Amino acid sequence: MNIMTEKERLFKVLRGESVDRTPVICPGGMMTMASREVMVQTGCYWPAVHRDAEKMATLSVAMREKTGVENIGIPFCMTVEAEALGGEVEDGDETTIPGIVNYPLQSVEQWRDLKRLNPYKDGRLPTILKCTSILKQKVPDTPVVGNLVGPLSLATSLIDAAILYKAIKQYPKDVHNLLKFLTDNSIEYGKALVRNGTDLIVIADPSATGEILGPVLFKEFALPYLNDITTSMHMLGKPVIVHICGDIRSICKPLRELSSECISIDSLVNIKKMRNAIPEKKLMGNVSTILLQNGPISKIQVVSKNLLTSGIDILAPACGLSARTPVKHIKAMSEIVKVYTT
């Protein structure tokens, strides 16, 4: 019997076909996949890596090799689209991820002043595209994840979140216009990623959590735009995973209407309950990143194993990894899938 490649296995799971065992991934983007330990080993350090396609490729490939995680995840932050649209980014340091420090918008209606992004020209987008094509050559059997920021979260990188959330009630039409514009831009960037070799798309939408929006507003302001991006990526033949942060129990119903194959969930959500609440979606998650950072290894193993028995479809960290996370801790998670089969 042929042994599945990492790519085949992940795709089969997302298509609902049977596989030899559960895949384990760490998507990158908002769900950052880097450890300082590996930066030291490769000489590819944050923050220089964020603007250097070669170094980004080297670090991400080394992360996969050292930790046993079965994908490549770039970039190491969630600021590339916002930067390309005019957000000012501070690159952080060796263990601090880049963040937006200045918003280009003061009000939602100013969205008209935003310039459409050009994935081949603006900000770091060309770097990410270049890195993607390098990875495509280097590791053809490993899934390369293309990371997009969900429209609502992208909006909160371009305008103060409080202004945006208030505008949802005050000027819903303008908010829809802004989100539509951002969705179109993300699709443009997503297409460019696919053209350069991205195998699947993960959309992270931390600002769209049920705790902030509740089910009604989630359905109106997050769901349709996530589905627009998903549909566009499906038309290019790429599967999609959507990550929502925080407690999503209140939005279980609208989550069932997501078009994505898979939902990635945060550590405070119980997988067994989720499994029953959203039976039609593949579930990814949700090893606590705090546990992954602090250990002990024995507990990481127990938690990972419990997730497998609870019916997780793809084992993954619940959120972005701290760059201080020891490699052996990540390895403890990724090795479980190889020794333990349900």
Residue among 235 and 290 whose Cβ is closer to other proteins: 290
Taking the least distance from each CB to other proteins, the nearer of 93 and 141 is: 93
List binders of other proteins among 147-206 (CB under 8 A): 156, 161-162, 165-166, 168-170, 206
Q: Tell whether residue 253 is a contact of other proteins (CB under 8 A).
A: no
Q: Look up residue 324 and give its two tokens.
A: 């201080």
- CA dist 127 and 50 (Å) reads 8
The piece of 11-19, 66-74, 93-101, 137-145 that touches other proteins (CB under 8 A) is 93-101
Smallest distance, other proteins to C-beta of residue 53, A: 23
Q: By the 8 A CB rule, do 319 and 266 touch?
A: yes
Options 63, 321, 330, 333; binder of other proteins; rule CB under 8 A: 321
Query: Should residue 56 be labelled a site residue for other proteins when binding is judged by CB under 8 A?
Result: no
**Residue closer to other proteins (CB basis): 17 or 88:** 88
- Provide the strand spans (E) within the chain: 72-74, 88-90, 99-102, 144-149, 200-204, 240-244, 262-265, 282-287, 314-317
Quick check: 32 binds other proteins (CB under 8 A)? yes
Q: Looking at 104-112, 195-203, 273-281, 286-294, which segment touches other proteins (CB under 8 A)?
A: 286-294
User: Closer CB to other proteins, residue 259 or residue 294?
Assistant: 294
Q: For the CB of residue 95, give the shortest distance to other proteins in the complex, in Å.
A: 7
C-beta of residue 204 within 8 angstroms of C-beta of residue 153: yes
Q: Which DSSP state fits 24?
A: B
The DSSP string of 291-331 is HHHH--HHHHHHHHHHHHHTT-SEEEESSPPPTT--HHHHH
Q: Which stretch binds other proteins (CB under 8 A): 66-74, 92-100, 139-147, 277-285?
A: 92-100
Residue 324 interacting with other proteins (CB under 8 A): yes
Considering only the stretches 58-66, 113-121, 212-220, 307-315, report the one whose residues sit in contact with other proteins under the rule CB under 8 A: 212-220
Q: Which stretch binds other proteins (CB under 8 A): 13-21, 55-63, 277-285, 287-295?
A: 287-295
CB of 301 to other proteins, least distance (A): 19
Q: What is the CA radius of gyration of the chain?
A: 19
Helix axes 210-221, 172-195, angle to 10 degrees: 90
Under rule CB under 8 A, residue 207 binds other proteins:
yes
Which among 179, 245, 182 is positioned nearest to 212, based on CA atoms? 245
Least distance from C-beta 92 to other proteins, angstroms? 7
Provide the minimum distance between the beta carbon of 268 and other proteins in the complex, in angstroms, as a whole number.
8
Of 41, 48, 52, 99, the one binding other proteins by CB under 8 A: 99
Which amino acid, residue 314? I
Buried b (16+ CB within 10 A) or exposed e, 242-265: bbbbbebebbbebbeebebbbbbb
285 binds other proteins (CB under 8 A): no
Compute φ and ψ for 204, nearest 5 degrees: -100, 125
Q: Is 246 in the site for other proteins (CB under 8 A)?
A: yes
Among 74, 217, 265, 269, interactor with other proteins by CB under 8 A: 217
Instruction: Assign 147 to helix, strand or coil.
Output: strand
Q: How far apart are CA 182 and CA 243, in angstroms?
A: 18
| Packing angle of the helix pair 327-339, 53-67 (nearest 10 deg) | 50
Q: How far is the CB of 244 from other proteins (least distance, A)?
A: 12
Burial class (CB in 10 A: 0-12, 13-18, 19+), 101: exposed
Interface with other proteins (CB under 8 A): 32, 90, 92, 95-97, 99-101, 156, 161-162, 165-166, 168-170, 206-207, 211-214, 217, 245-246, 250, 266-267, 288-290, 293, 319-324
